[in-house]
Amino acid sequence: MAVIVFVLLGLDWFAGVVIRLEPQSIDRTVPELGIAHEDLCIESGDHRLGAWLLQPEETQPFEPLVLLVHGWSANYSTVLPLAEQLAGLGHEILLFDVRGHGRNTPQAHVSIKAFRDDLMAVSRYAAKRYPDRQLVVIGHSMGGAAGVLAAAEGAPIDGLVLIAAPCDVVRVTGEYLADQGLPGHLIVNLVRPFWWRRIRGTFRSLTPARRIRELDIPLLLIQPEHDNRVVREHADLLAEAAETEYRLIPDREHTDVLEDSLTLRFVLEFLEDV
């Protein structure tokens, strides 16, 4: 019995090591943009999330408010290149850091469930502050996965753009481990039950490829051609589940796709049609 307990405790510890958060530093800040902005703090359960509202002078009062969501281990500065371009064209942008990221209190682990819950809290804040405006969420990587889950759970989202988003967070974790030379598929199947304990349930309701079928809002999928972090098959499976197509951005990788002029063009066309 002691050996079994020791093994289980060891596996639980290892499950935490596999998903230990190593947040990236903030590369560039909103004040450096020279765009009018408001520094915010938005509550999500027991957490207080740092946020920014970009308010360009030429904003049209009834255009959609754009909410940008960064990926796992990143922060708001990761999506700032796209935010800056949109704000420069007169779009009002809401940025925030998911708990444990960016300006927020550090945490060892942050799950996809936490991403979903924080996005739901921020979208509800936006809907309450701007009750007469539509809200379009643009999610990069894990932020895109969170966008699908939040919309499926009833968040006040009127349009959704997914950029390099995974179709399955467990699968993409296994692929990431495999890229490190580890047996990723074996590891994620071994520690999956210990992740269930952390999220207090299974991943059934937290799988974007499953939940995207429930959405009845305008949807845009964007995939960088040379993304080695979230490979193209994820976009294939999301598009198939949503019964739509995705836009491929040539010669771009996982993060620099946010700076591409073609990405901006597709997003602007989407905003016009929402």
pLDDT in tens, 5-21: 565 676 777 778 778 88
Q: Is residue 98 part of a domain?
A: yes
**Residue 40 CB-density burial (10 A; 0-12 exposed, 13-18 middle, 19+ buried):** middle
Report how far Cα 40 is from the mean position of its chain's Cα atoms: 19
Radius of gyration of the chain (CA): 18
Rounded Cα distance, 119 and 139, in Å = 10
**Mean per-residue pLDDT, 31-41:** 94
Rounded Cα distance, 176 and 100, in Å = 20
Nearest to residue 93, comparing CAs of 121, 133, 132? Answer: 133
Rounded Cα distance, 216 and 136, in Å = 14
Q: Is residue 22 part of a domain?
A: no
178: which 2 tokens? Answer: 């495999």
Give the DSSP letter of residue 106.
B
Q: Could you report how far apart the first and last alpha carbons of the chain are, in Å?
A: 59
Q: List the domain range (segments joined by +) for residue 76.
A: 30-179+201-273
Q: Which pLDDT score is estimated for 108?
A: 87
Q: Which pLDDT score is estimated for 175?
A: 94
Q: Which pLDDT score is estimated for 171?
A: 95
**Residue 178 CB-density burial (10 A; 0-12 exposed, 13-18 middle, 19+ buried):** middle
What does the pLDDT look like over 131-155, one tens digit per residue?
999 999 999 999 999 999 999 999 9
Q: How many independent structural domains does the chain possess?
A: 1
Asked if 165 contacts 141 with a C-beta cutoff of 8 angstroms, the reply is yes
Q: Is residue 24 part of a domain?
A: no
Q: Which pLDDT score is estimated for 4?
A: 64
Q: Is residue 186 part of a domain?
A: no
Neighbouring C-beta atoms of residue 145, cutoff 10 Å: 33
How far, CA to CA in Å, does 17 sit from each of 20, 100, 110, 112, 191? 5, 16, 12, 16, 10
Rounded Cα distance, 151 and 128, in Å = 16
* CATH code for position 51: 3.40.50.1820
Q: Is residue 224 part of a domain?
A: yes
Rounded Cα distance, 127 and 124, in Å = 5
Binned at pLDDT 50, 70 and 90, residue 57 comes out as confident
